[in-house]
Amino acid sequence: MDQLEADLSEVVRQYRHLYDPARKEHRDSGRVQNSWQEIAKRLGRDEVVCKRAWKNLRDRLAKTRKRAKQRSGAEGGCRPPPLLVELSWLDKFVKHRATDSNFYETLASTEDAVVPTTSGETSVKTLFFALQSDCYTCHPPVSHPKHP
């Protein structure tokens, strides 16, 4: 975390309505705008720069959390990334939703459907596997050393 991000983190922490969605002021655009103007003035930066830096910092926090969660099976004694430690005060306010996809469920329910193509009609299942094989032609799957 660079100096701007560290300073921004400490200043934004004093404006709870900017990061706590449970607060009534969180939805008050005038109050939020005034707060960002004050923050920019205190840091001697442009308001747009401060907002962008805050957004980037939160995005990096989300990615770092996701990576740390994926490595949860790692050996003990591993220290958490510094960003997680420095922004740990945001943990109870910033909740990132897990992503989910229904692609395969949709495919399973429509695999018998017929799709018009330039060469006639074909099933969705056939089309999907044709596209998949084309993808593997350009980007063949990488074999894992344990599972060749």
pLDDT tens per residue across span 41-70: 999 999 999 999 999 999 999 888 888 777
Find, among 108, 137, 141, 138, the residue nearest to 125 by Cα. Answer: 108
Owning domain of residue 48: 3-90
Q: Is residue 98 part of a domain?
A: no
- Determine the average pLDDT of the residues in 77-97: 82
Three-state DSSP class for 144?
Answer: strand
pLDDT higher than 60, residue 137: no
40 and 84 assigned to the same domain: yes
Assigned domain for 10 exists: yes
Q: Does residue 95 form part of some domain?
A: no
Q: Flag whether 107 is in a domain.
A: yes
Q: What is the pLDDT of the chain when averaged over all its residues? A: 77
- pLDDT in the model for residue 75: 58
Domain count, the chain: 2
